[in-house]
């Protein structure tokens, strides 16, 4: 397998974008990535698209071909492949695109993630979210995604003594970072007290523990490293990629206080990159709920199990901490357009590794990690990226 690099990154702002359709979002992110790569659409060989539920949000399936058409790729009838894995759709699409270049199926590939979520009611949006957990055994009986994560939070509190205050540090950190991100859905700062006092969604989680419903898109261009070196002075290599599945229903899971698929996917990604948790300089993790951020740093091996809460409280994952986490603001503050998340994580990590983080740049990181979860952990995808 040959080495593969990210040669272009692009995204739209995330938020309630009433004037943008799915196709305009997809095109804007894609064009930004192509401009960043210095490529025209004639130099692209294939398109991968990550999207969770355009069928339900918009009544539109077949969107890889649709975006391919809008981007001008159908002039050359390029292959266009949509990949879906719940909230991990973008991350899994990125992985498929990466593998297709690594395995010499394609040379230059663009992979985009997009979701248009605000054209339906909030109640419908929550119902669509719940399509990534078990419809027959969970959501049909009234379990929402936040209620399932609330159970995981309760279990984590019971097993490890994790406190409400510790959990609240996760969104506080996200909002603090997002304040410096012009693309973020929320740029206001929040406090631990505000999180704890926020309206209950599924106890112990309040509204400020939960990532929002956002519109948005993100895209990256991938090329073989050898070609990438001729295109840019700062190619960022995909050093390792791992994915793992698990039961999509929580009651079949081996544990509730962690996401086993994250642990396994990260082990695979570490192994393939020849690196380990101790080499990670920055990370973008799946903080759809505050408990998710705590489970992530434990599942990824950044801290021993049970130490996620205290570590967040000690600021070890703040912008000036040991491993700055979610410098973009994460799902909580940068926003949560489902299919776009996994690729937006890569966009942020590449931005930081290139030293282009602007106001929120943290030193000279060399290795970054992304972790993206579908449902409550039915799928996890982890990537390790590295400055060449």
- CA–CA separation, 355 and 338 (whole Å): 27
Q: Contact region for a copy of itself (CB under 8 A) — 37-45, 183-191, 244-252, 317-325? A: 244-252
Minimum distance from CB of 232 to a copy of itself (Å)?
A: 25
Does residue 68 interact with a copy of itself by CB under 8 A?
A: yes
**Closest CB to a copy of itself among residues 86, 216:** 86
Among 115, 215, 246, 299, binds a copy of itself (CB under 8 A): 246
**Whether the Cβ atoms of residue 256 and residue 178 lie closer than 8 Å to each other:** no
295 near a copy of itself, rule: CB under 8 A: no
Q: Which among 146-154, 261-269, 325-333, 347-355 is the span making contact with a copy of itself, rule CB under 8 A?
A: 261-269
Distances (CA, A) of 288 to 63, 77, 364, 366: 25, 37, 27, 26
Binding mask 12-51 for a copy of itself (x = CB under 8 A): ---------x-x----------------------------
Closest CA to 331 of 374, 277, 299: 374
Cis before 204 (ω within 30): yes
Q: Which of 130, 123, 161 is nearest to 146 (CA)?
A: 130
Q: How is 110-131 classified by DSSP, letter by letter?
A: EEEEEE--TTS-HHHHHHHHGG
For a copy of itself, which stretch binds (CB under 8 A), given 78-86, 272-280, 320-328, 349-357?
78-86
Q: At what angle do helices 260-273 and 290-299 cross, to 10 degrees?
A: 40
Q: Which is nearer to a copy of itself, 82 or 176 (CB)?
A: 82
Q: Which of residues 150-169 bind a copy of itself (CB under 8 A)?
A: none
Q: Which of 201, 261, 353, 384 binds a copy of itself (CB under 8 A)?
A: 261
Asked if residue 117 lies in contact with residue 58, where contact means CB atoms within 8 angstroms, the answer is no
- Contact status: 124 vs a copy of itself (CB under 8 A): no
Q: Which has the closest alpha carbon to 113: 79, 81, 145, 78?
A: 81
Rounded Cα distance between 207 and 72, Å, is: 41
Q: Which stretch binds a copy of itself (CB under 8 A): 186-194, 226-234, 257-265, 362-370?
A: 257-265
Q: Which is nearer to a copy of itself, 59 or 142 (CB)?
A: 59
Residue 121 near a copy of itself by CB under 8 A: no
Strands 216-224 and 205-206: unpaired
The token duo for 169 is 């540090």
Asked if 382 and 238 count as a contact pair (C-beta separation under 8 A), the reply is no
Query: Which residues would be at the binding site for a copy of itself (CB under 8 A)?
Result: 1, 21, 23, 52-53, 55-56, 58-62, 64-66, 68-69, 73-74, 77-86, 92, 96, 99-100, 102-105, 127-128, 130-136, 139, 243-249, 252, 260-261, 264-265, 374-375, 378-379
């Amino acid at each position: 397998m040959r080495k593969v690099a990210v040669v272009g990154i692009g995204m739209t702002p995330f938020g309630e974008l009433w004037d943008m359709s799915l196709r305009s979002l997809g095109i804007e992110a894609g064009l930004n990535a192509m401009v960043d790569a210095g490529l025209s659409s004639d130099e692209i060989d294939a398109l991968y698209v990550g999207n969770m539920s355009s069928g339900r949000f918009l009544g539109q399936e077949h969107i890889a071909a649709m975006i391919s058409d809008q981007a001008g790729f159908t002039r050359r009838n390029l292959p266009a492949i949509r990949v879906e894995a719940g909230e991990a759709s973008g991350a899994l699409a990125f992985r498929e695109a990466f593998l297709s270049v690594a395995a010499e199926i394609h040379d230059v590939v663009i992979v985009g993630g997009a979701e248009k979520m605000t054209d339906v009611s909030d109640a419908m949006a929550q119902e669509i979210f719940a399509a990534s957990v078990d419809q027959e055994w969970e959501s049909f009986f009234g379990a929402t995604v936040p209620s399932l994560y609330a159970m995981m939070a309760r279990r984590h509190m019971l097993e490890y003594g994790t406190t409400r205050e510790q959990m609240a540090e996760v969104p506080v950190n996200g909002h603090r970072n997002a304040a410096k991100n012009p693309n973020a859905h929320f740029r206001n700062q929040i406090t631990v007290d505000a999180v704890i006092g926020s309206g209950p969604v599924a106890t112990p989680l309040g509204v400020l523990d939960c990532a929002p419903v956002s519109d948005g898109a993100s895209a990256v261009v991938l090329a073989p490293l050898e070609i990438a070196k001729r295109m840019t002075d700062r190619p960022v290599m995909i050093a390792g990629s791992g994915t793992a599945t698990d039961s999509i229903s929580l009651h079949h899971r081996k544990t509730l206080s962690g996401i086993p698929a994250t642990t396994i996917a990260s082990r695979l990604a570490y192994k393939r990159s020849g690196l380990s948790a101790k080499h990670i300089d920055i990370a973008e993790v799946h903080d759809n709920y505050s408990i998710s951020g705590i489970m992530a740093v434990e599942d990824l091996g950044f801290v021993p199990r049970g130490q996620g809460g205290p570590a967040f409280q000690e600021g070890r994952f703040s912008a000036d901490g040991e491993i700055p986490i979610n410098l973009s603001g994460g799902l909580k503050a940068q926003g949560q357009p489902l299919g776009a998340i996994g690729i937006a994580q890569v966009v942020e990590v590449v931005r930081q590794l290139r030293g282009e983080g602007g106001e929120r740049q943290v030193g000279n990181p060399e290795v970054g990690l992304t972790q993206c979860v579908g449902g409550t952990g039915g799928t996890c995808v982890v990537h390790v990226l590295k400055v060449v």
